Structure 1
Amino acid sequence: MRHIRSILIGLIALLATTISTAAQQVPIEVGVRPLYLIDKMKDGPLKQKLQACMGKPVKRTLFSIGHRGAPLQFPEHTVESNLAAAWQGAGILECDVAFTADKELVCRHAQNDLHQTTNIVATPLAAKCTTPFTPASGDKPATAECRTSDITLAEFRTLTPKTDGFDKTATTPEAYLSGTAGWRTNLYATQPARLMTHKESIALFRSLGAKFTPELKTPVVQMPYNGFSREDYARKLISEYKEAGVPASNVFPQSFDIADVRYWIKTEPGYGAQAIYLIDDESIPGLNGMDPATWGWEPAALKAEGINYVAPAITFLLTVNKEGKIVPSALAIALKKAGIKIITWSLERSGPLTDGGGWYFNSVSKAITGGGDYYEVLDVLAQQAGVTGVFSDWPATVSYYASCMGLE
């Protein structure tokens, strides 16, 4: 027995070394974007600090999280998107988890986004969509809704991913698929990218030396689905890590539904200890980061029931003070005081900051003037709000900052 135990310990050590070596072998290259954003910053100590790090090596950090990979330029939730995120120094990679008609788990941002993230409406599988493509006519926009649960895993594998977007004025399926936002690009979608199942994402992320943050997406079909309950769904997500031999310490499962987080804490305490409760204005109606009376819950109460990680959107963690400076919101202060670790989303998600930054920056839009403010926001989140991780659609921006500031 002692001999067998020694062999097992040796194998575990070898696996750990292999994963560590893989992480070291993945090249990290942040490119010109961080330097471009720094150049656009207002003069001051933060700009000087970031300029001083130019030319220095950037290390992988858990502070930098690939949001669906690196979808500012690559089709989201693809092999290529996640390779790009890892090459940019993201230490944690995300697979949003949805299920197919045969109850297999795949990486998609939503159960019903295939019509805008793949070519499905221009394939024979379009006939299986919940709402097949209908062309624009007069004042009526083009419509379509295609769900992962409309097709089997085998059929899912035949699809070609594309940059997220659609053209609501389209009169043909091909034109409908061409609606890429002007601040994104199809440059890396011209050669077909590769879709992933959840299991395939586990293998890929491990090979890259990254940790895992799968999000259990809220189903748009009635549950149970053909006998597949919400608990079955949450259980299956965790089981695929256990089957792959991934330790709980490397997995940060997420959900907007607090019931999922509580289920993991109760049934899979190792994984549940790192479960992330996601917060937006839909998961917590009336949530306002500046007014505790609207929260409907207390951060200390969340901590008491074993919820150690909370991830509000950026807009809920920041506000602007009387001097016009970006500062932490009451929510950020309360979460930090309760000893809850804060993760936030998503930097570089809503296009250029010259128009105030969109939904993610609503609470500080009056202090936002341009691209350099990404780093002003990031600095307040890290140094004042105490955020421990930031999702970004272009992880290089966060990786550069984290490495320059010595963040893990």
Structure 2
Amino acid sequence: MTRIFFASGLLLSLASAGVIQQRGHGHHDKWHVEVGARPYYLVDNMDAGALKSQLQKCENGPFKTSDFVISHRGAPLQFPEHTVQGLHAARRQGAGILECDVAFTKDKQLVCRHAQCDLHTTTNILNRTDLASKCTRPFTPAKDGKPVDAFCCTSDITEAEFKTLCGKMDGFNPNATTVQQYMDGTPYFRTDLYSTCGTLMTHNEYIKIVDSFGLGFTPELKTPQVKMPFNGYTQQQYAQDMIDAYKKAGIDPSRVWPQSFLPDDIFYWLEKEPKFGKQAVYLDERVDTPEGYANATASIPGLAKRGVRIMAPAFFALTKVDASGKIVPSEYAIATKKAGMDVITWSFERSGWLNKGGDYYYQYVSPVINNDGDMYTVLDVLVQQVGIKAIFSDWPATVTYYASCFGL
């Protein structure tokens, strides 16, 4: 998705790219987009300058739903991830595309979970004596210098059993000696206020909800954490089942952006399901090491020749700091532009406080990051210079404010 341009030319570029297209807003008119207090807090926190002044001028909106804004796992800054409540929050905050990370159960049904084996940190399964014993590794308390342990997978239980669980904020206490202590580990910058019992979703339920909103879908085929084939269930069948769900529901492929970290999944969709494959998103985690970053950048022309049209690294890989101390596009970003590829990136609002330079997502620009308002400084470079087409966010309202202000 990489094109270097300014906001005035963005909508034209989006439309002409033919991959990420803004759908008409008529189907969004049934609800009012609310951005809440957080964007204003971030803008107020910014250093003085032209960007801050522009964002301040937009304080009264109007705020609109935008396909530039992708809901990452719902709205997990404050709501348990991959829950019905999180989806509704994301919709109200203006996300035009909503995500379901797709995992499979013991009976080979598809459900929404960020990882196949995260039920011990994202649900109440350990509190459920009828299900906790079915975990790959049931709860073992921390003792004699050994850390706590638990490992519970969607593939340990059936779809029906999965649906009886409650979603909670992702987190755990590594020093816990009881299940209750273990489950009390929500990161300091999130909240348990809306975490009484989040409603989990199957993939089909997610499709039905998002379709009722009239919004876009981005299902991610999660890399299995069990050996494949799983009881005869192959990776190819898993990839096909995810696409088949949209075909069965009558969803137009133009509304679906299938994702995977595994390039073979992308190539499978390109070959077997080209209508869906042309919007397939290659989630690129190769950039996590310097060597991997260099190899990933070098591989981009070859991926483009194989038909991959959308690259999606974490957003740190798209920027760097130049000799004058300015945040500018990275080599990876320039390579995708040269190859004519589009870029989606992830994940905004996962970092907590930025007053000490940020975390994983800001690692290439940390020397010039010193306050929460710098989130918008980085986002502005990603949009205006890198030319990203969309960004995942744990709190869509933050990006919606910017997107509405700049007509994205």
Same fold (TM over 0.5): yes
1:146 corresponds, among 127, 147, 152, to 152
Is the partner of 1:205 in helix, strand or coil? helix
Which residue of structure 2 lines up, in the alignment, with residue 29 of structure 1?
A: 34
Structure 1 residue 356: Cα displacement:
1.7
State the number of aligned residues. Answer: 384
Q: Which amino acid aligns with 1:180?
A: T
- Give the aligned partner of residue 363 of structure 1: 364
Say whether the 8 Å CA contact 1:316–1:329 is kept in structure 2. Answer: yes
Q: Distance in 2 between matches of 1:240 and 1:258?
A: 21
C-alpha displacement of 1:296: 6.9
Asked whether the equivalents of residues 100 and 113 of structure 2 are also in contact (C-alpha less than 8 Å), the reply is: yes
Take 1:73 and 1:241, find their aligned partners in 2: how far apart are those partners?
A: 29
Q: Which residue of 2 aligns with 1:204?
A: 209
Gaps of 5+ in 1: 1-18
- 2:234 counterpart of 1:229: yes
Kept after mapping to 2: 8 A contact 1:129/1:146: yes
Deviation of residue 300 (structure 1)? 2.1
How far did 1:206 drift? 1.1
Contact 1:26 1:208 (C-alpha < 8 Å) held by counterparts:
no
Percent sequence identity over aligned pairs = 54
Q: Please say if 1:394 is aligned against 2:399.
A: no
Task: Quote the offset at 1:371 in angstroms.
Answer: 0.5
Q: Aligned partners of 1:225, 1:285: CA distance in 2, in Å?
A: 34
Q: In structure 1, what is the Cα distance between the partners aligned to 2:127 and 2:389? A: 42
CA positional deviation for 1:207: 1.1
Q: Give yes or no for contact 2:287–2:296 (8 Å, CA) kept in 1.
A: no
Specify the alignment match of 2:77 in structure 1.
Answer: 72
Q: Any runs of at least 4 consecutive aligned residues in structure 1 with deviations exceeding 4 A, and if so which?
A: 19-22, 282-285
Structure 2 CA distance, aligned partners of 1:145 and 1:355?
33
Distance change in 2, residues 1:296/1:392 (3 Å): closer
Comparing 129-138 with 98-107, greater Cα deviation is found at 129-138
Match of 1:333, SS state, is helix
Take 1:138 and 1:70, find their aligned partners in 2: how far apart are those partners? 38
- Could you list the runs of 5+ residues in structure 2 that have no partner in the other structure? 1-23
8 A Cα contact 1:22 1:207, kept in partner = no
Instruction: Report how far residue 280 of structure 1 moved.
Output: 1.3
1:346 is paired with a residue whose SS is strand
Deviation at 1:255, TM superposition (A): 0.3
Equivalent position of 1:16 in the other structure: none
Looking at structure 1, the residues matched to 369 and 76 of structure 2 have their Cα atoms a distance apart, in angstroms, of 23
- Superposition deviation, residue 305 in structure 1: 1.3
The Cα shift of 1:298 comes to 2.9
Kindly provide the CA deviation profile for residues 144-194 of structure 1, in whole angstroms up to 9, marking residues without a partner as x.
Answer: 00000000001101111100000111111111111111100000112x221
1:254·1:276 contact (CA, 8 Å) conserved in 2? yes
Match for residue 130 of structure 1 among 96, 116, 136? 136
Contact map agreement 1:75 1:193 (CA 8 A) in 2: yes
Matched, 1:176 2:177: no
C-alpha root-mean-square deviation of aligned residues, in Å? 1.4
SS of alignment partner, residue 91 of structure 2: helix
SS of residue in 2 equivalent to 1:55: coil
Higher RCO (Cα < 8 Å, 6 or more apart): 2
Instruction: Give the equivalent residue in structure 2 for 1:311.
Output: 312
Q: Map residues 190-201 of structure 1 onto 2, 5 A cutoff.
A: 190=196, 192-201=197-206
Distance 2:387 2:141 in 1: 48
